[in-house]
Amino acid sequence: MSHFDEASAAVQAALEAGARYADCRVMIRRSESMTARDGDVEELVSGESAGLGVRALVGSSWGFYAIPDLSDAAARAAGRRAAQIATASATVPGPPIELTPSAAVEASWASECAVDPLGLSQSVKGDLIVGATAAAKAAGADLAEGIYQIWDTTKWFVSSDGHRIDQHIRECGAGVTASAYGDGEIQRRSWPSHRGQYGTSGWELVDSLDLIEHAPRMAEEARALLTAPLCPTGETTLVLGGEQLALQIHESVGHAIELDRILGWEAAFAGTSWLDLKQLGSLRYGSELMNITIDPGLPGALGSFGFDDEGTPATKRDAVRDGIWVGVLAGRDSAAVAGLDYAGSVRSDGWARLPMVRMTNVGLEPGPHTLDEIIAATDDGVFMDVNRSWSIDDRRLNFQFGCEIGYEIKNGKLGRMLRNPTYTGIGPKFWQSMDMLSSESIAWGTPNCGKGQPGQVGHTGHPAAPARFTDVRVGVRG
């Protein structure tokens, strides 16, 4: 069933109420998640959400209104309300806005999906998650937790610039975590990452994770961490696993290249960026091994779509090439303000939320080495993997990460396991120290990227492979 008519009615009503541009997203999302603990189901939740959100531009001011009602009359009322809100925005106006041109498109797109995750029996999915926690518990975990999440979103987009696009995006993922309790501390190991692996994919992604097979090892490693030596303190050579590097990219590159942050539009909350548009095309962000792409068309990655929430088709772009900053994540209004001719990175987390600049798939192109080669080439250093904590300043410059597990590297070999590994640094200095990069890339999914007010949760993808960094401060403790 199409909802183009309701979206068109909302857009038309906004125009009649004085908007010079309007767009509307009708979205229907079904979701399902299960959490399990110690071999028992903890919570099974399914959801259905349907509604429309209208965006109206009156003069240089925006308004947005959303309602959970898909009738024609409600759509028209929402369009008028969005225009009224935009008119109120003009109380504190900005400079004139012209949107970056976007060709009118009529299209349909769907993500790839072999096994419909919502169509699969809940008993099959539940047995897997419960079974993974039971396996970890049996292997000695004091606490074993598992989760799967599924989102099935259909949306219809209409704009006054002639867009008419429908998309069907299915996403899912899962993970298992084992915790071991020691004297006054808790150690934790997660598979395949600290909150699971996610993608725009069917249940085949979850099947490929082999949760039950890996769960016992997580329990054993968590237990072993309790008696492992602390990560040493000081500056050393740091080798990061791909999962941790994915979050490093997310926090210290992905957010930094968001154009709304660069322009100061997120200054009060999410923050700004250390990047200055005057240096676009010339600033050295990292070493020559650093090639970051923005690729919303990457099949199966969590940040993939056919069109963004302004109707711009998915297009692969460079953000960093040979270590030089060359691109940003942009929307039609922010691009115009910055004098750029491309948008394509505007998304909302549902019909009730304003579309805004968000990451899609922001990833590091693979390098020439393997992890084994990187370890073998390191005389003295630390290997860390799987994120445990993350913190970065409001300019996306100063970061500190904690990982679940570390190992010392001595004379080209992995040595003792290390507990509470942390590292800290400054973005460009850190990236410029990257001297080895693996070819073993995986597109890690981050299903919990927070931004915006009211808060929005974004789903992003980050292709990443293990890499080596020099002179990094490790072992920061309270």
Partner 1 sequence: MSAESIRAGVELELAARVVELVRQAAGPSAEAEVVVRHDAEALTRFAVSMIHQNVAEAVTTVGLRLHLDGRTASGATTVVGADGLRGLVERTVAAARLSPPDTTWPGLAPPSPLHHSAGYHGSGEHSRLDFGFDEATARATPAERAELVRDFVSAADGLETAGFCRTVYTSAAFVNSAGQSVEGRTAEAAMDGIARAGGADGVARLASGRLSDLDGALLGARAAAKARAARNPVELPPGRYEVVLEPEAVSDLLANLSVFGFNGKSYAQKQSFAELEADQFDPSVTLVDEPLGSRDEHAPGLPFDDEGTPRESLVLVREGVTKAVAHDRTSAAEAGAVSTGHASGMSRTWGPFPNHVRLEASPAATLPPVDESIGAVAASARPLVARMERGLLITDLWYTRVLDQKTLVITGLTRNGVWLVENGEVTAAVGNMRFTQSYPQALASGMVLGIGGESVLLPDRWSGTRYAAPALHLASWNLTGNASG
Instruction: Identify residues 13-52 at the interface with partner 1 (CB under 8 A).
Output: 34-36, 40-51
Asked if 122 is part of the footprint of partner 1 (rule: CB under 8 A), the reply reads: yes
Cβ proximity to partner 1, 50 vs 377, nearer residue: 50
Asked if 273 is part of the footprint of partner 1 (rule: CB under 8 A), the reply reads: no
Asked if 454 is part of the footprint of partner 1 (rule: CB under 8 A), the reply reads: yes
Token look-up 């001011």 returns 61
Asked if 103 is part of the footprint of partner 1 (rule: CB under 8 A), the reply reads: no
Half-sphere exposure of 17 (CA within 13 A, CB side): 25
Asked if 352 is part of the footprint of partner 1 (rule: CB under 8 A), the reply reads: yes
Cβ proximity to partner 1, 90 vs 114, nearer residue: 90
Q: Which of 268, 276, 368, 448 binds partner 1 (CB under 8 A)?
A: 268
As measured in angstroms, the least distance from the Cβ of 226 to partner 1 is 12
Asked if 151 is part of the footprint of partner 1 (rule: CB under 8 A), the reply reads: no
Cβ proximity to partner 1, 334 vs 378, nearer residue: 334
Asked if 194 is part of the footprint of partner 1 (rule: CB under 8 A), the reply reads: no
As measured in angstroms, the least distance from the Cβ of 43 to partner 1 is 4
Question: What distance in Å separates the CA atoms of residue 279 and residue 302, rounded to the nearest whole number?
Answer: 30
Asked if 398 is part of the footprint of partner 1 (rule: CB under 8 A), the reply reads: yes
Q: Which of 2, 208, 448, 453 binds partner 1 (CB under 8 A)?
A: 453
Which of these ranges, 90-98, 287-295, 315-323, 378-386, lies near partner 1 under the rule CB under 8 A? 90-98
Token look-up 């979050």 returns 247
As measured in angstroms, the least distance from the Cβ of 302 to partner 1 is 21
Angle at 320 between CA 317 and CA 324, to 5 degrees: 135
Pairing verdict, β 317-321 and 292-294: antiparallel
Q: Which of 72, 94, 341, 410 binds partner 1 (CB under 8 A)?
A: 94
Which of these ranges, 3-11, 125-133, 316-324, 459-467, lies near partner 1 under the rule CB under 8 A? 125-133
Asked if 63 is part of the footprint of partner 1 (rule: CB under 8 A), the reply reads: yes
109-142 burial by CB neighbour count: b if 16+ within 10 A, else e?
Answer: bebebeeebbebeeeebbebbbbbbbbbbebebb
As measured in angstroms, the least distance from the Cβ of 103 to partner 1 is 25
The amino acid sitting at 125 is K
